[in-house]
Amino acid sequence: MEHDSASEQPRLFMIRMWPTEGDGAAVKWRGKVQSLADGEAYHFRTWDGLVAHLQAMLSNSRDDGASTESSQGGSQ
C-alpha cells in the first residue's frame, strides 16, 4: 500500500518524563513531547495532556505540512 499524502506520513516523537515531589510523599510525573522532525514541543502534567498535545501536533502536521513553530504548553 502506497502513502502519497503528507497526512499519512509517519511522525517521530520523543517523550521525556521525570518525577517531581508532590504534596506529601506523592511523586508527580511531568513530561515533554517533542516532534523530532521540526522541534515542536509541549510540556504536560497528565496523560490527558500528553494525548491532547499529540493530537494537536498531528493535526498541525495535516493542516500546515511540517510545522516549524515551537511552543510550550501545560496541561493539568
Q: Is residue 46 in some structural domain?
A: yes
* Cell numbers linked to 23: 504534596
Q: Are 35 and 11 in contact (CB under 8 A)?
A: yes
Distance spanning both ends of the chain, measured CA to CA: 40
Task: Count the domains in the chain.
Answer: 1
Q: Is residue 37 in some structural domain?
A: yes
The whole domain housing 39 covers 9-64
Q: Is residue 70 in some structural domain?
A: no
Alpha carbon distance 72, 26 (integer Å): 25
pLDDT at 67: 39
Q: Is residue 4 in some structural domain?
A: no
Q: Is residue 71 in some structural domain?
A: no
- The pLDDT tens digits along the chain (76 residues) read 455 555 578 899 999 999 998 777 788 999 999 999 999 999 999 999 999 999 998 988 766 554 333 344 454 4
Q: Is residue 73 in some structural domain?
A: no
Q: Is residue 20 in some structural domain?
A: yes
